[in-house]
Structure 1
Amino acid sequence: MAAQQPSGPLAGVVVADFSRVLAGPYATMLLADLGAEVIKVEGPGGDDTRGWVPPTRGDVGTYFLAVNRNKRSIALDLKDPSDREVAHALSARADVFIQNFKPGGLARFGLDYDAVRGRNPRTIYCSISGFGAGGGAALPGYDLLVQGMSGLMSLTGAPDGPPFRAGISVFDVMTGLQSVIGILAALHHRDLTGEGQHVETNLLSTALSTLVNQTSAYVAGGVVPTRMGNAHLSLFPYEPLPTGDGELIVVAGNNGQFRRLAEVLGHPEWADDDRFDTVGKRNDNREELRPLLVAALAAKSAQDWFGILTEAGLPCGPINTVQGGVELAERLGLEPVVEVEGVPSVRNPIGLSATPPSYRLPPPALDEHGDEIRRWLAEVPRA
């Protein structure tokens, strides 16, 4: 079907993408970058994010552009019998079927797991939800709700201030990644057994896993973490600190790093001070150590210290804007921006020596490939 045949480790894998907004589309874009043939099924009005503006590029929201390259679009009204028949044919052809409707929401269209498995037992069916298919099935799965309900917002912000959301829909993105992991594992299992299976992910479970040491503090240590601003629960220094001009993120993750930091700042005695000579003591006595560090850092600007500390092999860094982050990646030779037919997007972060990600198609217009996909479905024998 493709004008430019996909290459990569997933070449030949057909993905029927019935997902929308972020978690599912992000997952399917990653699969597409690795060579999968992704067919994006949209309702007659299109994916909601087409209209999530500003900002825009032309008349399309950059939100949509961020997660929909390398896909073909077909618009289907699942309430229409003829369109529903096309959806059934696509589900019978797909190696992977992915959707993020509310649990049970596709059953009335004959597109639930059992129905799709009945058409093709080899299909990997991935369901993404907010709170799982059990007691949380009726809860709407918005990332902001999960940031609040999982505990993340209780950890984000100043100790004496209100809770804050993260600057991105972090659990949508992480659930997309977890979905890709599950799909790849299921594809490997199918290669061994010939059997498809149901992959299920949800934002809340992803959130609790993503909170790693913070959830472990509670489930393993009985400690309920609280907001600490930019401070770390178990390490100090591990936060932005003021300098003579601007803030610099300063990290000493072990005793050796702290000893080097103390030497570079002109106070080697700190490393042998019995208040600061272990990670635990520095953590317990951070309110005594912080003003000492701040006073020493006041001698130079953040940019000066960045050069000096980096030269000494110490982890540190400025607080950039998003523009600054992209420009840093460019200076480091990471080539963060790729362009397909004039539409720029951020490079897939995975590097593969033999089968690297490829960038074949720009994000599609609504139903741009509808006729092409219908012809393809008519030509391909159904499973």
Structure 2
Amino acid sequence: MSGALRGLVVLDLTREVWGGLSAALLGDFGARVVRVENLNGPRPDWDRDGEHPPGEHQALAKLVHRNKQSVGLALAHEAGRATLEALVGAADVFLTDWGLDELAALGLTAERVQTLRPEMIYARGSGMGPCGPDALAPGLDEIAAARTGIMSSLPEPDQPPVYTATGPMYTAVMLALGIMTALYHREETGEGQSVDASLYAGNLYAATLTVDAYLAMRDDILGEPRNRFDAANPMSGIFYPASDGRWVTVTMPDTDRWWPVFAEVMDLDVDDPRFDDHEKRCGENRLEMMRVLEELFGAKPSSHWKAQFDEYRLSADIIERYDYPASHIQAAVNRYVIDAPNRHQGNSLQGLGFPIHLADTPAEVRIPAPRPGENSVDVLSDLLGWSEERSLQLAADSMIGEHFDDSPVSFAGSGSSPSPPPEVHRVEGGRRPLEGLRVLDATVWFQGPVCGQYLADFGAEVIHIERPVTGDQARGVRSIAAVPVADWNQYFLCVNRNKKSLAIDLKSDAGRELMHRLVEKADVFLWNQGLESLPGLGLDPETLLEINPRLIHATNSGYGNQGDFNKPSFDMTVQALTGIMARQGEPGQPPIYLGLGAGDAYGGLMSALGILLALQARRQTGRGQSLDASLYGAQLFLGAPSLQPYLAERNEWYADQHSRSAPRNPLWNRFPTSEGWLFLCVPNEDDAWTRLCHALGQEDWAGDPRWASATDRAADSAVLVGYLDKLFATASAVAWCARLADAELTASPIAHLRNLPEDRQAWANDYLVKAHCDEIGEEVALRGLPVTLSRTPGRVDTLGPELGQDTELTLFELLGIDWDRIGELKEQGVIP
């Protein structure tokens, strides 16, 4: 078996975890990734925020840099820069998260690189996007997260805003997805282009459902901290404590399917007059039912409840810690957690595996993470054809190799200081990169439709296959987070935009025959309605690949397509098993759900990435294949910055909640002010500390022996945070951030969702867009595009279709079925 990206050369000039991880995702599937280390200047500091204490095995680096070769270059010198330019010329993809000023100094702006090599995919991970007034903002996730307004909506009332650190993981996948989208276009046309995926877009996409809901409803309650008893349904979206101190979460719609079984498990009378209908359970007696459930759950340990949930197959579970996926057989058999070679210590370490499973071209760890600069001579010889003598001379001159000079160096390159990149103008009717691709999207609710939505936004013909009469269940959504939907159903319409709707009864013989004929004409079949139902409907991979050997058969399962772990998979209950929720928030507080559909949306993007990887493999082999991107696998990967070091080191610090009142770096923290909160992002370094003291008007703090060194400040962090809390409370977040900016220190007010619709940066980059909504006959604002492509950008032409609106025309034009036969199918109820 060969990788899906065999023959693709990616040059990785990144510093951040998320940038390097984007390249690693490509390397996992066979791309040759050459990582460039700058020998001049300090090495990347992933613990500058105090959230990543270094361990013996450098576990995070082993994930971020696996399947790569490493070249060390002295970029402060002309010879080092010339070597870098030669490597760029040999690559298909140049991937970076460096600042625009640094890239200009190296002579590696997008314009220059693509002038030299028009077919190049120039991919950059940015802080705030390639356009708009803040295009030059630093690439710090905390600043991007603070700007979205989501942090304020996650905690319980009277608790600090919650920083989840999931935005960078979204951005890593979005950057890889953008590269694959641009690569698909290049394979069709020979044209290269620039790709940008920003931390701001990553954080917005991590809050997809909340952002969609707020833009439609404009109800400020969606951006406020909420008590867990504010849930609209006592059986869904809520946590209850068990007798052993563990937490239980339940995520069941209040329907006739779930209530009788749940009542039996909880030893409640299904006909209890207080709770015997939906209006009572979710209306007048909602709080009483929650209090009853609180008492019942609190009477027995979590082990009892887990056994009950599993026996009755309820959508409910225990909120686990990281030790659960570390020993969960389902995580192992699906290779979400693996034992990977630890070459330099001569053993293996447990770590994160692969969230996407391609049947014929699977991901593999082919190369353990190298030492920085370890492969310098070999890469220059193999990739550039340079003689060994030439490379060894460069090494002798310290222009390449493994020797680092950690003193700060300013590049003296040929580039000039950059101006913000030009606006990306979306030409109405212009070509999109996935045009010509046909997708049969037989998915419901959210995770699967997100995948189809991305493909449709970038030009694929996506046909949403629905059941007649009722359609996708998302059409029936009437409230989000206990807030009634607006006069249009943004839940369904946003995630199914740019799609057609074709309604077929797949339980009928005639309906299955139609589906098989559609498969003959399709490139991709997408499904998320349970793996066990596929064979009975004749939609399993074996059947469909026999009909169309070039088909990509993609499933979005709950827990993976291997093993026998078979239970309902709503976003919150799957997230509960990963351990992510248990480490969020302040110690002693309830777990933090990452946000409405946060895992679903991530799983959808993973699925889209898997589809484009499989299509690239098809170009090499001429054959399709099956793939699975599960909700569980995606959400485990979402926790990589803390889960990976936990798996390798078993350091409980990564699994625990931590108080903002006593952090490892007291200068990288959230602080309450007289008006709102601010996020301060200052490294715990002596020079930065001195500048901070002066900016705050507390010059005497710089000489205080309690805080004389970084070690002292970390050891006395609780006292120092207390002083900072009192000081910041004397002025507004906006005022403090202005003073800090004057001192070239980074901070941001922590925004509210109400600020988002007026954010020029979001509109400039099409992270927010407008589209006409037929339901209300006017233009509406909605979440836009997560990735920017310079030559073939995506766009939103239409919102979700009416049920079955394209059925007859699709059968006539695509399958050649005459109108008489279409009439017969209607009479038989096969189509509406």
Deviation by residue 1:295-338 (Cα, 9 ceiling, x = unmatched):
33233211211222234333322232222123224577345432
- Of the three residues 539, 557, 562, the one matched with 1:134 is 562
One-letter identity of the residue aligned with 2:563: G
- Equivalence for 1:120: 548
Task: Check whether the contact 1:53–1:62 (CA below 8 A) recurs between aligned residues.
Answer: no
- Equivalence for 2:692: 261
Counterparts of 1:72-221 in structure 2, within 5 Å, are: 72-221=500-649
- Does residue 9 of structure 1 match 2:433? yes
Residue 375 of structure 1: CA displacement?
1.3
- Equivalence for 2:451: 27
CA distance in 2, matches of 1:113, 1:211: 30
CA distance in 1, matches of 2:546, 2:486: 42
- Greater shift in the superposed pair: 147-156 or 290-299: 290-299
- Equivalence for 1:243: 673
Residue 66 of structure 1: CA displacement?
2.4
- Of the three residues 453, 459, 463, the one matched with 1:39 is 463
- Change in Cα spacing, 1:232 to 1:352, as seen in structure 2 (3 Å) is farther
One-letter identity of the residue aligned with 1:345: L
CA distance in 1, matches of 2:706, 2:645: 24
Residue 76 of structure 1: CA displacement?
1.4
Residue 11 of structure 1: CA displacement?
0.5
Residue 71 of structure 1: CA displacement?
0.1
Task: Check whether the contact 1:52–1:61 (CA below 8 A) recurs between aligned residues.
Answer: yes
- Greater shift in the superposed pair: 279-288 or 313-322: 279-288
Q: Give 5+ residue unaligned stretches, structure 1.
A: none
- Equivalence for 2:764: 333
- Change in Cα spacing, 1:213 to 1:330, as seen in structure 2 (3 Å) is closer
CA distance in 2, matches of 1:211, 1:278: 32
- Greater shift in the superposed pair: 166-175 or 14-23: 166-175
CA distance in 2, matches of 1:184, 1:230: 41
Task: Check whether the contact 2:518–2:815 (CA below 8 A) recurs between aligned residues.
Answer: no
- Change in Cα spacing, 1:372 to 1:167, as seen in structure 2 (3 Å) is same
- Equivalence for 1:348: 785
CA distance in 2, matches of 1:231, 1:195: 56
SS at 1:240 equivalent: strand
Task: Check whether the contact 1:131–1:141 (CA below 8 A) recurs between aligned residues.
Answer: yes
One-letter identity of the residue aligned with 2:474: T
Task: Check whether the contact 2:494–2:799 (CA below 8 A) recurs between aligned residues.
Answer: no
One-letter identity of the residue aligned with 2:496: N
- Change in Cα spacing, 1:107 to 1:321, as seen in structure 2 (3 Å) is same
Residue 111 of structure 1: CA displacement?
0.7
- Change in Cα spacing, 1:136 to 1:66, as seen in structure 2 (3 Å) is farther
- Does residue 305 of structure 1 match 2:736? yes
SS at 2:533 equivalent: coil
SS at 1:129 equivalent: coil
- Change in Cα spacing, 1:305 to 1:136, as seen in structure 2 (3 Å) is farther
**Which has the larger Rg?**
2
Task: Check whether the contact 2:464–2:502 (CA below 8 A) recurs between aligned residues.
Answer: yes
SS at 1:104 equivalent: helix
Residue 277 of structure 1: CA displacement?
6.6
Residue 28 of structure 1: CA displacement?
0.8
TM-score norm. by structure 2 comes to: 0.43
Task: Check whether the contact 2:507–2:537 (CA below 8 A) recurs between aligned residues.
Answer: yes
SS at 2:502 equivalent: strand
Residue 259 of structure 1: CA displacement?
4.5
- Equivalence for 2:657: 227
CA distance in 2, matches of 1:193, 1:316: 51
One-letter identity of the residue aligned with 1:351: T
Q: Kindly, what percent of the aligned residue pairs are identical?
A: 32
- Of the three residues 691, 716, 737, the one matched with 1:285 is 716
Task: Check whether the contact 1:25–1:68 (CA below 8 A) recurs between aligned residues.
Answer: yes
SS at 1:379 equivalent: coil
- Does residue 315 of structure 1 match 2:746? yes
- Equivalence for 1:51: 476
- Greater shift in the superposed pair: 331-340 or 33-42: 331-340
SS at 2:759 equivalent: helix
- Of the three residues 376, 379, 382, the one matched with 2:813 is 376
SS at 1:374 equivalent: helix
SS at 1:303 equivalent: helix
- Greater shift in the superposed pair: 135-144 or 270-279: 270-279
Deviation by residue 1:328-353 (Cα, 9 ceiling, x = unmatched):
24577345432333344211121111
CA distance in 1, matches of 2:451, 2:612: 11
- Does residue 360 of structure 1 match 2:797? yes
Q: Give 5+ residue unaligned stretches, structure 2.
A: 1-427, 773-778, 818-832
- Change in Cα spacing, 1:355 to 1:334, as seen in structure 2 (3 Å) is closer
One-letter identity of the residue aligned with 2:446: L
Residue 41 of structure 1: CA displacement?
0.5
One-letter identity of the residue aligned with 2:816: E
- Greater shift in the superposed pair: 95-104 or 129-138: 129-138
CA distance in 2, matches of 1:181, 1:277: 49
Residue 274 of structure 1: CA displacement?
7.2
Residue 43 of structure 1: CA displacement?
1.5
Residue 91 of structure 1: CA displacement?
1.8
Task: Check whether the contact 1:236–1:279 (CA below 8 A) recurs between aligned residues.
Answer: no
One-letter identity of the residue aligned with 2:477: W
Deviation by residue 1:349-379 (Cα, 9 ceiling, x = unmatched):
2111110002222210111111111113323
Residue 9 of structure 1: CA displacement?
1.0
CA distance in 2, matches of 1:6, 1:249: 40
Residue 230 of structure 1: CA displacement?
5.8
Residue 26 of structure 1: CA displacement?
0.6
CA distance in 2, matches of 1:258, 1:176: 42
Task: Check whether the contact 2:762–2:768 (CA below 8 A) recurs between aligned residues.
Answer: no
CA distance in 1, matches of 2:620, 2:709: 50
